[in-house]
């Protein structure tokens, strides 16, 4: 098992809609993430900066690198693009975070 953390950024005025869409996450997207070996996935919001901090765990043999090419993932990114900063193709901009402390 390994962990991955990264930062993303919301656009002003989109917090409530971002929460709503994640509260209603598509079952097919949730299944896709689980099938790719992602679990224990949480996203935190810094309300002062609109930065999102995501932390997820990955199963051994995970296949998350293939997710950007999957149609369900692409459709989710298109659905979320109006709410957050994105790359061309609507993939959310991500800034990797480096672990500096861990306590089990």
The tens-digit pLDDT sequence of the chain (104 residues) is 899 999 999 999 999 999 999 999 999 999 999 999 999 999 999 999 999 999 999 999 999 999 999 999 999 999 999 999 999 999 999 999 999 999 99
Exactly one of 22, 25, 42, 97 is catalytic; name it: 22
Q: What is the DSSP string of 26-66?
A: -HHHHHHHHHTTEEEEEEEEETTTTEEEEEEEE-TT--GGG
CA distances from 64 to 6, 33, 60 (A): 14, 8, 11
Percent of the chain at pLDDT above 70?
Answer: 100
Distance of alpha carbon 87 from the chain centroid: 14
List of domains in the chain: 2-95 (3.30.70.100)
User: For this structure, is 70 an active site residue?
Assistant: no
95: β partners:
7
The answer to pTM > 0.95 is: no
């Amino acid at each position: 098992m390994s962990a991955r953390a990264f930062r993303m950024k919301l656009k002003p005025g989109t917090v409530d809609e971002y929460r709503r869409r994640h509260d209603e996450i598509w079952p097919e997207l949730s299944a896709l993430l689980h099938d790719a070996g992602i679990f224990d996935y949480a996203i935190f919001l810094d309300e002062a900066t609109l930065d999102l901090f995501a932390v997820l765990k990955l199963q051994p043999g995970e296949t998350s690198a293939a997710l950007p090419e999957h149609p369900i993932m692409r459709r989710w990114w298109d659905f979320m693009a109006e709410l957050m900063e994105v790359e061309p193709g609507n993939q959310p901009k991500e800034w990797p975070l480096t672990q500096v402390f861990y306590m089990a």
